[in-house]
Amino acid sequence: MENQLENQTTPASSSANMLDGLSAVGLVGGAIASFVTNNVAAAAVPLAIAVGLHIKNRRDLALEVSQKQETAIAQVVQKIEQHQAALTEYLQKFQQETQGQQTQLRQLQEAGQKQLAQNLADQVTQLNQLIAGLTQNTEATTQNLDHQHKALEVIVNELRQMESASHVIEVDPKAEAYYQRGLSRQRLGDRAEAIIDYTAALNLNAEYAAAYYHRGVVHAELGNRKPAVEDLRQAAKLYFEQGDLDNYHRARDLGKEFYDLQHPFPGEEGQAAAIAQKELAKASVVSSSEDNDEGIKPLEGDDGITVGSLFD
């Protein structure tokens, strides 16, 4: 740029060259005049003029150089400002892009954290449900085992009572022993053998009301309606004669209701059969709370037994 400025020819540089030439001419003329006239004063005027022209020439030249430098500096400053503006714009654009990328990255991180938290929550929920299901199954299994254990205890107890009654029968057959063994067999579901034991008890004691009652119930369970009604009526008769009015009413009402089911009104056969079926389904509750010791009334503790509970 400086070379270009130096190579440029301006009016000021031309004037300076011209003034330099005039000053040189003035100096030469003054020297010649002083030599010809042999007068120094005559040479002073051209010399002063030459010096003044030289000074003016130098000043003009310095001014021109200064203007050129200012112009060059202004151009450089302008280019620097242009570059600085472009750099500032690039930095702003880069900053905006960087902020956008950071925002996207932060959003992705937040979304990933939320998804991870949701997945963990779902897994915890599933685990809790699994634990709850396992706990419920465990409780149900425990209850089932407890029920089976109790049922097994009842069966074992009935078997022991059967064995004890059988030993008594072998040594000294008594109506009470047959009756107790018949109760145990009835509770275990061996109805045919229960009828045999109740019959044996009645053969030894024809006034054993409880044996009639329970044999009538077993006949009802087996569907033998006629012998069931006969045994229940005989049980009611004996209870009344013995003064046991509570068991008398039970046996009488049960026999009467079962007789009514056996002889329904015309058009009610289907309804009677359905009721009888229900009554038979409840037969297992008979004598569930009776004691097996001799001398205990067999129907004490059976306050809830009706024809509805026997055949429902």
Q: Residue 289 maps to which CATH number?
A: 1.25.40.10
Q: Per residue, what are the HEC states of the chain? A: CHHHHHHCCCHHHHHHHHHHHHHHHHHHHHHHHHHHHCCHHHHHHHHHHHHHHHHHHHHHHHHHHHHHHHHHHHHHHHHHHHHHHHHHHHHHHHHHHHHHHHHHHHHHHHHHHHHHHHHHHHHHHHHHHHHHHHHHHHHHHHHHHHHHHHHHHHHHHHHHHHHHHHHHHHHCCCHHHHHHHHHHHHHCCCHHHHHHHHHHHHHHCCCCHHHHHHHHHHHHHHCCHHHHHHHHHHHHHHHHHCCCHHHHHHHHHHHHHHHHHHCCCCCCHHHHHHHHHHHHHCHHHCCCCCCCCCCCCCCCCCCCCCHHHHHC
Shared domain check, 184 and 90: no
Q: Of 44, 73, 94, which residue sits at a domain end?
A: 94
Q: Is residue 138 part of a domain?
A: no
Q: What is the pLDDT of residue 237?
A: 94
Surface-to-core class of residue 6, CB atoms within 10 Å of its CB (0-12 exposed, 13-18 middle, 19+ buried)? exposed
Q: Is residue 111 part of a domain?
A: no
Q: Is residue 192 part of a domain?
A: yes
Shared domain check, 298 and 204: yes
Q: Of 79, 94, 109, which residue sits at a domain end?
A: 94
How many domains, in total, are found in the chain?
2
Q: What is the pLDDT of residue 23?
A: 58
Q: What is the pLDDT of residue 201?
A: 95
Whether this model's pTM surpasses 0.85: no
**Which residues have a Cβ under 8 Å from the Cβ of 281 and sit 6 or more positions away?**
311, 312
Q: What is the pLDDT of residue 206?
A: 94
Shared domain check, 302 and 186: yes
d(CA 102, CA 110): 12
Q: Is residue 163 part of a domain?
A: no
Q: In terms of Cα–Cα distance, which of 304, 305, 220 is closest to 262?
A: 220
- What is the domain extent for residue 213? 173-311
Q: What is the pLDDT of residue 38?
A: 58
Would you give per-residue pLDDT tens digits along the chain (312 residues)? Answer: 545 544 555 555 555 566 566 555 555 555 565 555 555 555 555 656 666 766 777 787 888 888 888 888 988 888 888 888 888 888 888 888 888 888 888 888 888 888 988 998 999 998 898 898 888 888 888 888 888 888 888 899 989 998 999 999 999 899 999 999 999 999 999 999 999 999 999 999 999 999 999 999 999 888 888 899 999 999 999 999 999 999 999 998 888 877 766 554 344 344 445 544 554 444 334 444 443 333 333 333 333 334 434 433
Q: Is residue 283 part of a domain?
A: yes
Q: Of 50, 79, 94, which residue sits at a domain end?
A: 94
Q: Is residue 26 part of a domain?
A: yes
